[in-house]
Amino acid sequence: MPRYFGTDGVRGVALSELTVQMAETLGRAAVHILGSRLLIGRDTRSSGTQLQAGLIAGITAAGGEALLAGVIPTPAVAYLTRAYAANGGVVISASHNPPEYNGIKFFDAQGFKLDERSEQQFEDALQAQAIAAWEAGEASAISVTGEASVISAPGEACAANTSDYSIYGENLRTVTGAATAVEDLSDASECYIQHATQVFSSQGLDLVGLKIIVDCGHGAAFYTTPEALRRLGAELICLNCDFDGTDINVNSGSTHLEQLQASVLANAADLGFAHDGDADRVIAVDAQGNEVDGDFIEAICAVDLKTQGKLAHNTVVSTVMANFGFVKALREQGIEVALTDVGDSKVLAAMLGGGFTLGGEQSGHLIFLEHNSTGDGLVSALQLLAAMRRSGLALHELSQIMEKYPQEMINVTVSDKLKLSNSERLAAALLAAETELGSEGRVLLRPSGTEPKFRVMVEAHDALLAQRLARQLAELVAAIDSE
């Protein structure tokens, strides 16, 4: 039987792979695993209201209480879970994925993503549901329930707090028999905005005189990020800050920077920011239209924190996919870089284990533990702006802190990842490539955790050298696999 939980909760095509029935099962399980008081937020996908209704039905049926934050960024759910003293937080979002997908992920009472033990308990609940359906002779444990719900109109800051419970009857509170089991949090967005802006303004800083363009990707930050930047004094231009439930991440946001880059140049803006669908990530664009990814943002903020004496243990955390230029630049600044396997959960675990306060990924998923317990696109943008204000430098100037090394990545489809991982010939070839690169590059060979592929990545100061070594290693991987 396939596993439902992936690297970030349950995710799939909404209402066919990820169903309302599954959401209800997860709601019931959440009460037993996390506690009775649960806070729910969602992004702008049209399927979000139906999945939310399923969660509410499960939570209330199990005797729990659902606090509805409406359409709001994932990091806001993490923060609000603590602020409202909830036992856990639930996010309905598929992050940067296309509109037809959706997902459900959980936070504990402290706003941290679940540990493996708690996640396995949720997995067990879904597996039990699937087994029960199979034993009952149903064709599938997956069923589509109800018609698509209408999401709130574009530009309405908190209108999305009004939920559609129609698939469970005219009044879910009556159906479940729990008159006060569901509460709409009309001040959820305001609470999060005040937290994020206070983090910035408490440093004696403002954004007066800066022209900023923000692309919210038709996603969950459509109100919170623009409003926060305006309150701090920025002149703001919004891109894709409306939504209709079917356009999240479509040719917009942090995975499609072209529109933001063009707008920054056309409007002579100082910089731009782009979020993914649930706004736990941010990518910046400087005044020249250049992309400033998570590696650059983390490096700039690390040096800024070190200058203030606030970088715990003079160490940051990143993943093995961080650009070699990032690692080299920070070590030249006297900052150590702890590298983990891919995934924000791995980054967070290393941060908590080592007592570090800054970690992140090239994708723009950055964790500032002093301010939030998970990746927070708005807080990350504000920390970058704070570094700009303190230094008096433009983003393009600050970005000179590191040189991005050319990277060549080849994914080789293989049949036996274990054989390759244990291959002495491949290990010898890896050593030879590393020797040739010396201190001016690196090689990464790793099996994919989700696909039948073996990943070959080479970074070098010379792009042609990176391409040659990657191609040689990829050919060797394919040859060993076919033997």
Among the listed ranges 145-154, 168-177, 246-255, 447-456, which one has the minimum average pLDDT value?
Answer: 145-154
Among the listed ranges 97-106, 148-157, 189-198, 340-349, which one has the minimum average pLDDT value?
Answer: 148-157
- Whether the pLDDT of residue 208 is over 90: the answer is yes
pLDDT for 138-196, tens place per residue? 544 333 233 332 222 223 333 333 333 333 333 333 334 444 589 999 999 999 999 99
Report the pLDDT averaged over residues 398-422.
93
Cα dihedral 315, 320, 323, 329 in deg (nearest 10) = 20
pLDDT band at 260 (very low <50, low <70, confident <90, very high): very high
Average pLDDT, whole number, for the chain? 89
For residue 2, give every residue at least 6 positions away whose Cβ sits within 8 Å of its Cβ, in sequence order, or none: none
The pLDDT of residue 115: 87
Cα dihedral 423, 425, 431, 436 in deg (nearest 10) = -140
93, 95, 152, 423: which one is catalytic?
Answer: 95
Residue 466, both tokens: 């990176």
CA distance 22 to 5: 12
pLDDT band at 32 (very low <50, low <70, confident <90, very high): very high
Query: Which domains are present in the chain?
Result: 5-186 (3.40.120.10), 191-401 (3.40.120.10), 407-482 (3.30.310.50)
The pLDDT of residue 137: 62
For the question of residue 95 being annotated catalytic, the response is yes
Strand arrangement of the beta sheet that strand 358-360 belongs to: 336-340, 315-319, 358-360, 366-368
CA distance 24 to 10: 13
